[in-house]
Amino acid sequence: MSPAPPRQRPYWTALVLPLALYLIVFLVIPFIHIIVLSFYTYSPTRIWTPELTIANYVGLADASFLTVLLRTLRLGLVSTLICVLFGYPLAYFLARAERRVALIGLFFLVMPLMVSAVIRTFGWLVILGRNGLVNGAITALGLERLPLLYNETAVVIGLANVFVPFMVLPLMASIERINPALEEAARNLGASWLATFRRVILPLSRPGLISGCLLVYSAAISAFVVPMLMGGARVRVIGRQIYDQLLISYQWPNASAIAALLVIATTSLAFFVLALMRRSARQEPDA
């Protein structure tokens, strides 16, 4: 009884072809190029040296790079956890709030997300800076200024703040789909609020939680502006490494190898998580 699928004429090719071609030229080819380039030989005198080598990858197994890599992954993990901590209650609140409140809440969530990351970081610089809000209060109390900026904590604060909407939006969508009657049923059956959350809401909102974590984590480990402005030279992360090697030291094959590594890491993470979600979606067809 469902409406008929439109008749099969290949009109669709004309509709999807322009974008497909566009993305092939401006997205696929650049990524293939960067992977090819990661096998080129670095030479300080010639930019393009198409002698293939794996030296760029082997070179990554060096202590200073591994420090940077581990720091990046760690900062990503901590900021993702903080985003869950702050994002979950917010997502639940928005999903269950009455329509008008939810609209206003959503506005104040999406608006900061859409303002340039530079500007949001700038706000934190003013708050945490030498003459900023926090140090102003501290000196007013007659205490010593604290070095709040240019350390890992500052970077985590910045990352978590910038990316928390990435956590909230998919989570909210996921929680909205959970019938509120389920919560009421759980309460009616004697579950406390916490038990209801743990046994009903959390398992059913898992797809949203997973995709939120995925979005935040991959954004956090490839962040560049926040660590640069809030972490300074001391908190080097992969994004900074790529930027410097590309635009400052011109070690393009090396930068390509790092980028290729990051591409593989984020996409395999995404595929893994999506496969996981698809499997759990099959198990809970009505969720």
Partner 1 sequence: MALTPTVEEQGSAPELEVRNLVKRFTAQSVVGPLSFGVAAGEFVSLLGPSGCGKTTTLRCIAGFEVPTEGSILLNGLAIEGQPPNRRNIGLVFQNYALFPHLTIFENVAFGLRLRRVGDAQLRQRVGHALELVGLPHLAARYPRQLSGGQQQRIAIARCVVLEPRILLFDEPLSNLDLKLRLAMRRELRELQRRLGKTAVYVTHDQGEALALSDRIVVMSNGRIEQIGSPQEIYERPANAFVADFIGSSNLLDATVVGTDGAATIINAAGLTLRAGVVGHTAGARILAMVRPERIRVAGTDAAAGDNTLNARIREATYLGQDLHLTLRLDGGQELSVVTQGSAARRLVPGEEVVLTVAAADIFLLPK
Partner 2 sequence: MNRQMPALLKPFVMLTYILLLAPLAIVVAVSFGASPTFQFPPTELSLKWYRGFFGNPEFVRAFFSVSLVLGFLAAAMASLLGVTAAIGLVRFRFRGREALEAFFVAPLFIPEILFGAALYLTYARLGIKPSMTSLLLGHVVVCTPFVIRNVMAGLVGLDPRLEEAAMSLGASRIQAFLKVALPLIQSSIISGFIFAFIISFSDINLALFIAGPNSTTLPVYIFNLLLFEGDPSVAAASTLQIVIVGLLIWLVQFLFRPRALL
CA distance 49 to 239: 24
Q: Helix crossing, 63-96 with 238-247: angle to 10°? A: 120
Measured at the CA of 25, the angle between CA 21 and CA 27, to 5 degrees, comes to 105
Nearer to partner 1, 7 or 279 (CB): 7
Measured at the CA of 87, the angle between CA 214 and CA 110, to 5 degrees, comes to 85
Measured at the CA of 61, the angle between CA 60 and CA 63, to 5 degrees, comes to 105
Nearer to partner 1, 5 or 44 (CB): 5
Interface with partner 1 (CB under 8 A): 1, 3-4, 7
Amino acid at 208: G
* Residue 233 binds: one of partner 2, partner 1, none (C-beta under 5 to 8 A by kind): none
Q: Which residue, among 261, 275, 170, has the nearest Cα to 212 in the 3D structure?
A: 170
* Residue 93 binds: one of partner 2, partner 1, none (C-beta under 5 to 8 A by kind): partner 2
* Residue 204 binds: one of partner 2, partner 1, none (C-beta under 5 to 8 A by kind): none
Instruction: Please report how close the Cβ of residue 11 comes to partner 1 at its closest, in angstroms.
Output: 15
Instruction: Please report how close the Cβ of residue 2 comes to partner 2 at its closest, in angstroms.
Output: 9
* Residue 1 binds: one of partner 1, partner 2, none (C-beta under 5 to 8 A by kind): partner 1
Instruction: Please report how close the Cβ of residue 2 comes to partner 1 at its closest, in angstroms.
Output: 10
Nearer to partner 2, 59 or 123 (CB): 123
Instruction: Please report how close the Cβ of residue 228 comes to partner 2 at its closest, in angstroms.
Output: 8
Neighbours of 163 (CB within 10 A): 27
φ, ψ of residue 97 to 5 degrees: the values are -75, 160
* Residue 41 binds: one of partner 1, partner 2, none (C-beta under 5 to 8 A by kind): none
